[in-house]
Structure 1
Amino acid sequence: MADKHPLPGSERTVEQGSKVVGQCDPTERIEVFVMLRRKQQASFDALMSKIESGDPSVKPLSREEFARDYGAAPEDIAKVQAFAAEHGLTVVREDPAARSVLLSGTIAQFQTAFAVQLQHYEHHSAGQFRGRTGTISVPDDLHGVVEAVLGLDNRPQARPHFRIRPPFQPARAPQASFTPPQLASLYHFPQGDGSGQCVGIIELGGGYVNSDLKTYFASLGVHSPTVKSVGVDQGGNQPTGDPNGPDGEVTLDIEIVGAIAPGATIAVYFTQNSDAGFIDAVSRAVHDTTNKPSVISISWGGPESNWTNQSLQAFNSVLQAAATLGVTVCAASGDSGSSDGLGGDHVDFPASSPYVLACGGTRVTASGASISTEVVWNDGAGGGASGGGVSQAFPVPVWQEGLSSTDTGGSKTPLGGRGVPDVSGDASPVTGYSVLIDGTQTVVGGTSAVAPLWAGLIARINAAKGQPAGFINPKLYNTAGVCKDITQGNNGRFAASVGWDACTGLGSPNGQKVAAAL
């Protein structure tokens, strides 16, 4: 019997509020994907440090070049194939570029193969799921070869960051709503329709109805974009008919991107809400040689502390790949202020990855064709607020060195980790986006509206430039005045201040200045 080695970062504990409700059926078939180490890691790291410093000499790699130089080595894939054969597992799919091998087998086979015990758990908010505790183990042959094993557990990993405006009229602020083209105009987006670009949207459930999209774009006088559904790991476009559920997220994302960049193709990657599904969907979008998205919008996430280290690192390495391929990834920073829905200070992941453009929220008042006031989105207890703070998982990136966060007492602390968010935009449901979901005209807010807003802007810029803007964070931070600085409001622990802050980042977009900087 070969020695077993615990896989670093794979430790799972019983989540608070979860209890075991039964054993898993040993004959049930599941799919698990294995992520392998990268070829030429040292050379990849050197390339990444150039990209992070904003080195203008670095050109995006083609997906073919990336697969050749930085995918998984054929001999590593062969080791996984041999391991699968030994344990009676079937290889469903190999993707050398994404360094992933998808395996299928019974629960009993996987328990033996990775030395784990899978059980059914119940959690008051997450419902029933398959889970495990302790570490995953791999044999000698795979020790140092395998970086992550994902899908043994299928607990829900993320939540959508959108909020439908409550039906009552709050006394303290007049309500307003905007269509995406109105916001594009208020934010001085450059002209254009994103033609020739593809925007990828990641969804962990729900679906869209074509009649909604058709009616909505017609009502705006915008021609309907091409929308494609891409199923990942048994995911698919499955509308539930409930606008308050994930359909709200899916439809909101498509309608915002489509209204701002109707000439772009929109590829919607549907998957299951688990760490395995989420990571695989983003990976499939990044490495998609058919649709080739140049921008990806992610409106889902969960507190950093809810991720295992192996999931966090596996996901982050996919986002690094996006940066080398010239793909801009926009991610919502969360709707629960500085706590991210937990006690204390927490930031949301994947927004806290240094390789995404983290999108926070503001509340906008407009008069005529211009914005009269814009403050941090914070609608009070139960109303939602811009996610933001300081990462406990990722160090300060080069382009944030020397920055400080300001707390509500006014004291400044130098960043001890990656600061979130980078930018922001209108997110309050009180001044939200007018959309059509499951046949109902409704007003929606949340930072999940800001990620597709920025994605639409980048698609316009890419189309006008004829090449992808790629990883834009260094350029945004190194060019003064590309965003409108938000200096009023707070998100709980942190306050808006002059310059970057942990509520709204650099501020809301001046689209023409962003285009000039890129």
Structure 2
Amino acid sequence: MPEIPKGFTRLAGSERHLPAQARQIGPADPNERIEVSVYLRDPAGSALAGQLEHQISQPGQRLSREEYLAQHSASSEDIARVEAFARAHQLEVLAVDRAARRLVLAGTVSQLCSAFGTELHYYEHEGQTFRGRSGPLHIPQELEPIVVGVFGLDDRPQAQPHLRFASAAGASAPVETATVSYTPLQVAQLYNFPSGLTGSGQCIALIELGGGYNSEDLTTYFQQLGLKPPTVVSVSVDGGENSPTGEPNSADGEVALDIEIAGAIAPAARIAVYFAPNTERGFLDAITQAIHDTTNAPAVISISWGAPEVDWTRQALTTMNEAFQAAASLGITICVAAGDNGSSDGVNDQKAHVDFPASSPYVLGCGGTRLEAQNRQVVSEVVWNGTASGDGATGGGISDVFPLPAWQANAHVPPSINDQHQGRGVPDVAGNADPQTGYQILVDGQSTSVGGTSAVAPLWAGLIALLNQRRGQSLGYLNPFLYQHYTQLLQQKALRDVTSGNNGGYSAGPGWDACTGLGTPDGTLLLQALLTSSAS
């Protein structure tokens, strides 16, 4: 362990553990120059969370960006203290983002290890090499109340894309499980998305942690659908770029899926794709950059990447959740895929786990169904669970990190099957995700069919862009409205309850469940309910 400087203390929540099978290769190069993002406290404390808890009656209450900056941006005093700390350790201050409450510091590995009381080594794990650390970080005691997280020292891969390609077994499977696929427009028609709306005037943000897209693919894909291609712009975060690998089974598949679903649903929307490295720092910085981007100003953000809650540091969970609070207060809706590995979320400890960031109470967690149709009508919709054939299953369950939100208190969220504790229930809504009833996409010049809850997040994001366009105002933090009015929305058939199936540990049933949440949408009837609510 490194020697901790006098007057330093542990940074709460910064502890990291190495993967069980990680092999240390050697010490990190002391002269390698790296960057870290330092996130600071909200000067208003927990006031923002308190305001959002009471945002029940109708969606759309929000702060202007000017109000947010005045109340919740980093204080000049806090920034000055961190800048002084940086100077004392020969670190360069590359950027200060007051709205995101983030400073970017740069220095050598040696300087940063000294500044934060840690050691960095190179490790090999599952065929990849990363720079990693274990144990906590340390900061001067006077910074303890100010700094909520330091990210970037450890660059191990953090998240997985939640998409699934249809297994080869589907081709020879029994008729009832044979592969069918839909265009996004066909799924939108089955869910009765409102017609005559295009997402004009809206911006949808997509968070991507690898891969890329080819403009030629997008032009061809949308022409095949009879649509004018949407405007797609790439935004670089922490050096991340639109870098297609040429392999459809890579992260390229995720990027194409997200753009093509969101763009087909809302073809006149601007689609801003935030490319960042697949690290805790990259993921967090992409989210805060999208939220506070005044150039593209997205009103809805779609995230199809995540990892089990146990794979995150507490500082990352806390800081990202605070970013989602900021988005909610600014009227930005965030749709997040709930995961594709059933109630275990891919953790092999015989316990149930939920995926983060879908488990944040400030996002719309999106679960998955198997959708079957005949004659342009839904004939069957059940929980997506193709575990037996290797096709995955929708994530969902009870958070081990976040308590039950006030707006979920009457949803009859069951206790965790692990230890009976109460917590945030995941997901909130659902949509078609089974790769055996998947979506037709074009990636790296190849037409293919994919599923996964990765498809559900951009599907809901596209729908919300349409709803925002029609209302003339963004929906923003939608969860309280959906839960408060759930019985009414069911009666109006604006939400369709999915009552059959399971994801391993949890089963569907009437009302909210830990597989499909409140159900799947009838877009037109949901719009009517929202317009009626706004008028009342």
Matched with 2:382 is 375
Cα deviations by residue, 1:135-170 (Å, 9 ceiling, x for unpaired): 111113312110000111011110000011123414
Secondary structure of 2:436's aligned partner: helix
Distance 1:46 1:501, change over 3 A: closer
2-side partners of 1:515 and 1:236: how far apart?
A: 36
2-side partners of 1:37 and 1:228: how far apart?
A: 31
Q: Once the 2 structures are TM-superposed, how far is the Cα of residue 49 of structure 1 from its aligned partner?
A: 2.4
* Contact 1:405 1:413 (C-alpha < 8 Å) held by counterparts: no
Q: TM-score, normalised by structure 2?
A: 0.93
2-side partners of 1:94 and 1:221: how far apart?
A: 44
2-side partners of 1:424 and 1:361: how far apart?
A: 5
1-side partners of 2:296 and 2:9: how far apart?
A: 39
Q: Does 1:393 align with 2:394?
A: no
Q: Does 1:244 align with 2:232?
A: no
* Contact 2:415 2:421 (C-alpha < 8 Å) held by counterparts: no
Q: Once the 2 structures are TM-superposed, how far is the Cα of residue 472 of structure 1 from its aligned partner?
A: 0.4
Matched with 2:151 is 150
Distance 1:483 1:76, change over 3 A: same
* Contact 2:122 2:132 (C-alpha < 8 Å) held by counterparts: yes
Q: Once the 2 structures are TM-superposed, how far is the Cα of residue 42 of structure 1 from its aligned partner?
A: 4.4
Matched with 2:439 is 433
Matched with 1:465 is 471
Matched with 2:534 is none
* Contact 1:256 1:452 (C-alpha < 8 Å) held by counterparts: yes
Out of 324, 329, 334, the residue aligned to residue 329 of structure 2 is 324
* Contact 1:22 1:119 (C-alpha < 8 Å) held by counterparts: yes
Q: Does 1:116 align with 2:118?
A: yes
Out of 334, 352, 357, the residue aligned to residue 350 of structure 1 is 357
Q: Does 1:453 align with 2:459?
A: yes
Question: Which residue type is aligned with residue 447 of structure 2?
Answer: Q
Q: Once the 2 structures are TM-superposed, how far is the Cα of residue 237 of structure 1 from its aligned partner?
A: 0.4
Secondary structure of 2:483's aligned partner: helix
Distance 1:302 1:249, change over 3 A: same
Secondary structure of 2:168's aligned partner: coil
Cα deviations by residue, 1:200-245 (Å, 9 ceiling, x for unpaired): 0000000000000000000000111000000000001000001100
* Contact 1:286 1:327 (C-alpha < 8 Å) held by counterparts: yes
* Contact 1:406 1:497 (C-alpha < 8 Å) held by counterparts: no
Matched with 2:86 is 84
* Contact 1:214 1:224 (C-alpha < 8 Å) held by counterparts: yes
Question: Which residue type is aligned with residue 93 of structure 1?
Answer: A
Out of 102, 105, 110, the residue aligned to residue 103 of structure 1 is 105
- Superposed, 1:29-428 pairs within 5 Å as 29-51=33-55, 54-56=56-58, 59-124=61-126, 127-168=128-169, 169-172=171-174, 173-191=177-195, 192-343=197-348, 344-381=351-388, 382-404=390-412, 416-428=422-434
Distance 1:354 1:63, change over 3 A: same
2-side partners of 1:171 and 1:43: how far apart?
A: 55
Structure 2 unaligned residues grouped into runs of 5+? 531-536
Taking only aligned residues, the RMSD between alpha carbons, in angstroms, comes to 1.8
Question: Which residue type is aligned with residue 325 of structure 1?
Answer: L
Matched with 1:13 is 17
Secondary structure of 1:506's aligned partner: coil
Distance 1:56 1:29, change over 3 A: same
1-side partners of 2:113 and 2:472: how far apart?
A: 50
2-side partners of 1:64 and 1:389: how far apart?
A: 37
Q: TM-score, normalised by structure 1?
A: 0.96
2-side partners of 1:182 and 1:45: how far apart?
A: 39
* Contact 1:405 1:412 (C-alpha < 8 Å) held by counterparts: no
Secondary structure of 1:250's aligned partner: helix
Distance 1:180 1:13, change over 3 A: same
Question: Which residue type is aligned with residue 474 of structure 1?
Answer: P
Structure 1 unaligned residues grouped into runs of 5+? none
* Contact 2:48 2:325 (C-alpha < 8 Å) held by counterparts: no
1-side partners of 2:59 and 2:478: how far apart?
A: 14
Secondary structure of 2:17's aligned partner: coil
Question: Which residue type is aligned with residue 496 of structure 1?
Answer: A
Tell me the number of residue pairs that the alignment of Structure 1 and Structure 2 aligns. 513
* Contact 1:406 1:494 (C-alpha < 8 Å) held by counterparts: no
- The answer to which of 8-17 and 153-162 deviates more is 8-17
Cα deviations by residue, 1:381-404 (Å, 9 ceiling, x for unpaired): 421000011000000011211434
Question: Which residue type is aligned with residue 401 of structure 2?
Answer: A
* Contact 2:276 2:282 (C-alpha < 8 Å) held by counterparts: yes
1-side partners of 2:246 and 2:59: how far apart?
A: 49
Cα deviations by residue, 1:2-49 (Å, 9 ceiling, x for unpaired): 500101111112221112111000000001000001122243243232
Question: Which residue type is aligned with residue 225 of structure 1?
Answer: P
2-side partners of 1:436 and 1:142: how far apart?
A: 49
Distance 1:400 1:40, change over 3 A: same
Q: Once the 2 structures are TM-superposed, how far is the Cα of residue 94 of structure 1 from its aligned partner?
A: 0.5
Out of 484, 494, 497, the residue aligned to residue 509 of structure 2 is 497
2-side partners of 1:419 and 1:103: how far apart?
A: 37
* Contact 2:53 2:407 (C-alpha < 8 Å) held by counterparts: no
Matched with 1:3 is 7
